[in-house]
Structure 1
Amino acid sequence: MLRWPIVILILANVLAFVAVRGAFGPAPTASGREPNHLSRQVHPEWLTVRPVSAADAADQPIVGGPAPEAPISASALPQ
């Protein structure tokens, strides 16, 4: 009963493997189909790394720590 679905799955896996290996030609993403991406890339020599100051890191949550308190004031509701 399960013989044919197993055979179909094995054939589908073999077909997918052959397609990935390039038997039907190169994958569409293998070639430069969008050359405008190359012209818009960021130049790595322009990037600079700077340390985060204490003022900039104040609002960053600490991994494994408690969630920061929101600056919200609360009051009692009137009855």
Structure 2
Amino acid sequence: MLRWLIAILFLANLLAFVVVRGVFGPTPTASGREPNHMSRQVHPDWLKVRPVTATEAADQAVVGAAAPAAPIAASALPQ
């Protein structure tokens, strides 16, 4: 049984080596799959940088600060 396992692993490695060497053709990552990708890039002069307002900053998490208190009203449960 071990002989068959070794033979199968050897053949799988041989097949992987053949595929990597390009016997079945070039790999998909060998060349650009989207040649027009560079021509469709966003132009940097179109981008606008604006400061964050106070209302927008309220939604942002502050790294290293304590967790904000949840706006939940709690009451005692009736027994």
| Length-normalised TM-score, structure 2 | 0.50
1:23/1:58 CA distance change after superposition, 3 Å: same
Q: Structure 1: give runs of 5+ residues left out of the alignment.
A: none
Map Cα deviations across residues 6-49 of structure 1 (whole Å, 9 max, x no partner).
Answer: 231232123123213322112345453x67x7389441514456
Structure number with greater Rg is: 2
Q: Structure 2: give runs of 5+ residues left out of the alignment.
A: none
Would you say 1:18 and 2:18 are equivalent positions? yes
| AA partner of residue 25 (structure 1) | G
Match in the other structure for 2:61? 60
How many percent identity over aligned positions?
Answer: 57
Match in the other structure for 1:7? 7
1:14/1:48 CA distance change after superposition, 3 Å: farther
Structure with more helix by fraction: 2
Match in the other structure for 2:76? 76
How many aligned residue pairs are there?
76
| Length-normalised TM-score, structure 1 | 0.50
